[in-house]
Structures are given as C-alpha cells and as structure tokens.
Structure 1
C-alpha cells in the first residue's frame, strides 16, 4: 500500500477498510473482471476460527460494489 509520499497505487476498492488515510480516486480505468469463489465443506465451517475467517473474507468482498 502507498501510505507515504506522493504516489498512486492500484489497490482493490476494499483496501480503504484497512486505513482511513487511503483515498479512492475517480479515475477512468479499464474494466477488470474476475470470477471469485470461496469454497469450504460443512464440516470445516464448524471449526469456529475457520468459520470466523471465512465470514470475514466473505464480508470483505461483499461490502464493495465490484
């Protein structure tokens, strides 16, 4: 991440979750497309730390308009 100096970085739009100092610029850019999948078995999701990590990842990607 670019947190110091004068620069522009290509970061995912959810990067602003990690620092209030990051700013999303309205810059014309080409459309980028990616199919994102998250898969886990039912048994795996019964493990609380794994379930918490799984839910956090889903929330991070679902909170922003792609």
Structure 2
C-alpha cells in the first residue's frame, strides 16, 4: 500500500491517535473512514472506478 506523509499540527495528530485508540482501529483506518465521508473524496473515487480499492466501497465504519 502506498504511504502518504502528512504534516499536521500536533493537536490534530494527538486527537487522531486518541480517536483511533478509542475506536480500536489504527489511525490510518480511522482517517480513511473519515475521508470516505467527504463528498469531494467520494467524487474523486467515482472518477477512478478502475482503481477503486475494496476498502473504499465500505461505508464509514462507526466503531464507537
């Protein structure tokens, strides 16, 4: 799987880690779930159906 590095404010990183821990999922999975809920991200995925990975077909998995 490709790796994307993001520079985020410390408070955002800590909140992401805390939320992921509370949900019992890795931070990357929580971030992917959050991205799937954004209309702009959904449109970008729809524009590339041939490259659409299986995980993108899941609805936002709420594990709280």
TM-score of the two chains, using structure 1 as the length reference: 0.25
TM-score by length of 2: 0.26
Q: Is the radius of gyration larger for structure 1 or structure 2?
A: 1
Structure with the higher helix share, 1 or 2 = 2
